Amino acid sequence: SQQGEEDPQALSIQEGENATMNCSYKTSINNLQWYRQNSGRGLVHLILIRSNEREKHSGRLRVTLDTSKKSSSLLITASRAADTASYFCATVKDSNYQLIWGAGTKLIIKP
């Protein structure tokens, strides 16, 4: 069953701009993860944020988590053409280690 829902479904911006994607979920979680998928390829893990964390950084990535609103956001700063990909959030429930996936945001960076 799907829990995470990404918003927007698609996003097209100019190179150099910031890109923000959102993820909402329905149940309590242990952690939330963001993955990236280039077209026709496997997924690559980007960042994991635990339920007791509010913000996390990794290079040009910034992830926030608001457990009261059951939502997370992924910010990519100073976007590059190579950031063009689909981005997925996945949640891990408290009592179940299985990941539950959203449908993804397709990000296009225009050079």
Partner 1 sequence: DGGITQSPKYLFRKEGQNVTLSCEQNLNHDAMYWYRQDPGQGLRLIYYSQIVNDFQKGDIAEGYSVSREKKESFPLTVTSAQKNPTAFYLCASSPAQGNTGELFFGEGSRLTVL
Backbone angles phi, psi at 82, to 5 degrees: -70, -10
| Contact range with partner 1 by CB under 8 A, out of 12-20, 60-68, 76-84, 87-95 | 87-95
Interaction mask 15-54, partner 1, x per CB under 8 A:
---------------xx-x-x----xxxxxx--x------
Residue type, 50: R
From 104, 105, 107, 109, residue interacting with partner 1 (rule: CB under 8 A): 104
Question: CB of 63: closest distance to partner 1 in angstroms?
Answer: 13
